[in-house]
Amino acid sequence: MKPANGKCGTSMENKTGNWRSEKPVVDQSKCIKCGQCTLNCPDGCIFQTPEGAEPNYDYCKGCGICANVCPVKCIKMVVEEK
C-alpha cells in the first residue's frame, strides 16, 4: 500500500517535528565532529557544522538514536516544551 501522498521516504518534504515528545540537544563544546549522529539519523535531520552537530527540529522525530550513538555523549534528549 502506498502512503497517503503516494511517495515513500519523503520526511524531509513533510515537517514531522511536531510528533516529538523529546528533542536532542547538542553540547557543541564537547562534540568531536565524528559524524556518527548524522550517519545514523533515520530522518537525515542532524547536520555537521563547523561548530558541531546541529539537529533540524522541523524534521527531527525525537527517536534518540543520535544520542545513543554519540561516542562522547554530548547529545541529551530533553522533554519537549509544547
β-pairing, 52-55 vs 75-79, is: unpaired
Cβ–Cβ under 8 Å, residues 12 and 43: yes
In the bound state with ligand SF4, the residue whose beta carbon lies nearer, of 3 and 35, is: 35
Q: At its nearest, how many Å lie between ligand SF4 and the CB of residue 3?
A: 18
Could you say whether residue 35 binds ligand SF4 (CB under 6 A)?
yes
- Give percent helix, percent strand, percent coil of the chain, each to the nearest 5: 15, 20, 60
Q: Which of 33, 47, 49, 79 binds ligand SF4 (CB under 6 A)?
A: 33
> Least distance (Å) from ligand SF4 to the CB of residue 57?
8
Residue 38's φ and ψ, nearest 5 degrees, are -65, -45
Contact set with ligand SF4 (CB under 6 A):
24, 26, 31-37, 41, 43, 45-46, 52-53, 55, 60-66, 70, 72, 74-75
